[in-house]
Amino acid sequence: MIKVIILGFLFGIILQRSRVNTFEKIGGFAMLKDFTVPKILLASIATSAILLLIEMQFGAANLHVKPFILGGIIVGGILFGIGMATLGYCPGTLIVSIGEGRLDAIIGTIFGLIAGWIYILIFPSIKSLLGPNLGKINLYSGSTVITFLIVLLYSAVLFYLAFYLDKKESQL
């Protein structure tokens, strides 16, 4: 329990110190005025993709891939994008921003809790509408060598995109 709180504490500090939790950065991305959000996401994914694969070679980590439930992913993704653009926070940054004293983040959290509560109530009736479930698939290959090449290429592309956005941002 204390361990999980410490991990969350580190998460909160990284988000807060990079200012990526703020409306200025998330709303600013929706206005195409600030690319901090995609740059940090891309750099994080690129770093962790390589490190995770190395960690897995030592048997120190397992994959936890979420199932590809097509209907839920598409409908949920559309609603999530609309919500994130108008609110200017996502679920994790919402909580970090409450810590920073942002009152609009408290409003967003209260209505997020209401949405969560409603989801519990409607879950039995919508469960079957979310499909089809295409399984827990990822882009790893059966061969470790090819998987390493795929992940290296993937990370290189993501880092390239992050630096490309950084350059574009400096020209705004």
Partner 1 sequence: MKKGKVLHWLWAGILLGVLNVVVMNVHVANRPIGASTMFPYLGGLITHLKNAAYMQVIAKPGNWELYFLIGAFIGGLVSSLAFGDFKLKLVPSRWSKVKGENKGKRILWAAIGGFLLILGARLAGGCTSGHILSGGMQLSVSSLTFGVVVIISFLITGKLFYGRAK
Q: Which of 128, 132, 137, 167 binds partner 1 (CB under 8 A)?
A: 137
Q: Which of 64, 132, 142, 172 binds partner 1 (CB under 8 A)?
A: 64
Dihedral angle over CA of 6, 12, 17, 21, nearest 10: 170
Residues near 130 by Cβ (< 8 Å), separated by ≥ 6? 69, 71, 72, 75
Query: Of residues 9-48, which lie at the interface with partner 1 (CB under 8 A)?
Result: 9-24, 27-33, 36, 38-48
Query: Of residues 102-131, which lie at the interface with partner 1 (CB under 8 A)?
Result: 102-105, 107-121, 123-124, 126, 130
Of the chain, the end-to-end C-alpha distance in Å amounts to: 45
Q: Which of 92, 148, 152, 161 binds partner 1 (CB under 8 A)?
A: 92
Q: Which of 3, 145, 170, 171 binds partner 1 (CB under 8 A)?
A: 3
Query: Of residues 142-161, which lie at the interface with partner 1 (CB under 8 A)?
Result: 150-151, 154
DSSP at 69: B
Dihedral angle sign, alpha carbons of residues 11, 12, 13, 14: positive
How near is the Cβ of 137 to partner 1 at its closest, in Å? Answer: 5
Residue 55 vs 144, nearer CB to partner 1: 55
d(CA 70, CA 75): 9
Instruction: Quickly list DSSP for 43-60.
Output: HHHHHHHHHHHHHHHTT-
How near is the Cβ of 1 to partner 1 at its closest, in Å? Answer: 6
